[in-house]
Amino acid sequence: MIVADLGDRYRFVTQPDHAALAGQFADRWGGAAARPVPFDSLAVAAYLHDAGWTDYDRRPRLDDDGEPVDFRGMPADPWTDLYETGIEAVVDLDTYAGLLVSLHGAGLRNRRYGLSPEWPETPPAFEGFVEREERRQRRLLEDLLAGEDSGCPVSPADETTLAAMHDPDRAPENPDGRLWDDYRRLQAWDALSLSFCLTDSPPGYGSVGPVPGADGTDETLSIARVEDDEFCVDPYPFDTAPLAVGVPTRTVAKSAAGDPSTLARAYYGAGRRTETFRLRPPD
């Protein structure tokens, strides 16, 4: 769950619903952002990068202090189990999408392969997860290069890119191939979605990126509220304007969070409300 503290209430967004919002951004990717071909596997990765959370997020949970559990404060167990389950599900559906989702999950625990150098080093409790996923990533790339998926866009250059990502210094310099750029696209869609899920006063992030731009250079997207549910994104990375997107939410009074059963009843009793946002380019 993504939990926003609204003072006297909590607002909840499930991880799969957050991922579906990321998928909406992927669907319309274009404009100032490069939209590579083929693209199908990227859409799979965007929509399903949190697939492992489906069962867990059927209900909100309380921590030892009686506060709703937010995904950012979860311990290694069950966090790693959820991610491994989700990655395996995506791999079964689309090998290249599964590789990207594995990079996403491991990247959350190792500074996003150099995109977030300010984050702490991998906590010991997550080291085994990262090591397992990086072994998986090498295996998946080998399978893809062996031709098990004829529609996959990887090339031998991506082996060098993946090796650079697995190096302690992480971020590859001037990589060839698709893998690094596609990983950054998935990170951008995830961050854009979180910008509208983390708080009831978005954007949660004022900037997102860098992402590969349509002119061959990298772009960092700035997000600013214009009014109410309308937001300006500069440069504009979508192929339609304005772009209307939405995410389902549930809002529960804090007084209902006294015990797990009461919270679960209040959560479903509150009903779902789809919060909508309109994104547009600068004037």
Neighbours of 147 (CB within 10 A): 8
Q: Which residues pair with 9 in a beta bridge?
A: 253
Check pLDDT > 90 for residue 2. Answer: yes
pLDDT recorded at residue 168:
76
Range of 18's domain? 2-280
If we measure between CA atoms, which residue out of 188, 136, 125 comes closest to residue 166? 136
Average of pLDDT values for 217-236?
96
pLDDT recorded at residue 64:
87
If we measure between CA atoms, which residue out of 170, 231, 240, 182 comes closest to residue 203? 231
Residue 122 sits at φ, ψ, to 5 deg, of -60, 120
What one-character-per-residue DSSP string does the chain give? -EEEE-SSEEEEE-HHHHHHHHHHHHHTB-TTB---SS-HHHHHHHHHTTGGGTTGGGS--B-TTSPBPPGGG--HHHHHHHHHHHHHHHHHH-HHHHHHHHHHHHHTTTGGGGT-TTSPPPPHHHHHHHHHHHHHHHHHHHHHHTTS-TT----THHHHHHHHHHSTT-SPSS--SSHHHHHHHHHHHHHHHHHHHS-SSS-S-SEEEEEEBTTSSEEEEEEEEEETTEEEEES--BSSSSEEEEEEEEEEEGGG-SSHHHHHHHHHHT--EEEEEEEE---
Average of pLDDT values for 216-228?
95
Question: pLDDT tens, 42-68?
Answer: 999 999 999 999 999 999 999 988 899
Q: What rounded mean pLDDT belongs to the chain? A: 94
Domain count, the chain: 1
pLDDT recorded at residue 172:
80
- Is there a contact between 10 and 186 (Cβ–Cβ < 8 Å)? no
pTM given for the model: 0.95
How would residue 117 be classed by pLDDT, with cut points 50, 70 and 90?
confident
Percent of the chain at pLDDT exceeding 90? 84
- Is there a contact between 90 and 53 (Cβ–Cβ < 8 Å)? no
- Is there a contact between 280 and 233 (Cβ–Cβ < 8 Å)? yes
pLDDT recorded at residue 175:
84
Average of pLDDT values for 248-270?
94
Alpha-carbon distances, residue 123 vs 7, 56, 76, 127, 220 (angstroms): 31, 23, 9, 7, 28
The C-alpha atoms of residue 177 and residue 67 are separated, in whole angstroms, by: 45
pLDDT recorded at residue 217:
94
Average of pLDDT values for 106-125?
91
Check pLDDT > 70 for residue 150. Answer: no
How would residue 148 be classed by pLDDT, with cut points 50, 70 and 90?
low
How would residue 170 be classed by pLDDT, with cut points 50, 70 and 90?
low
pLDDT recorded at residue 283:
87
Lowest mean pLDDT among 145-159, 220-234, 263-277: 145-159
pLDDT recorded at residue 169:
67
Give the dihedral of Cα atoms 265, 267, 270, 272; nearest 10 deg: -130
Angle (CA) 29 141 27, round 5°: 15
Average of pLDDT values for 94-104?
97
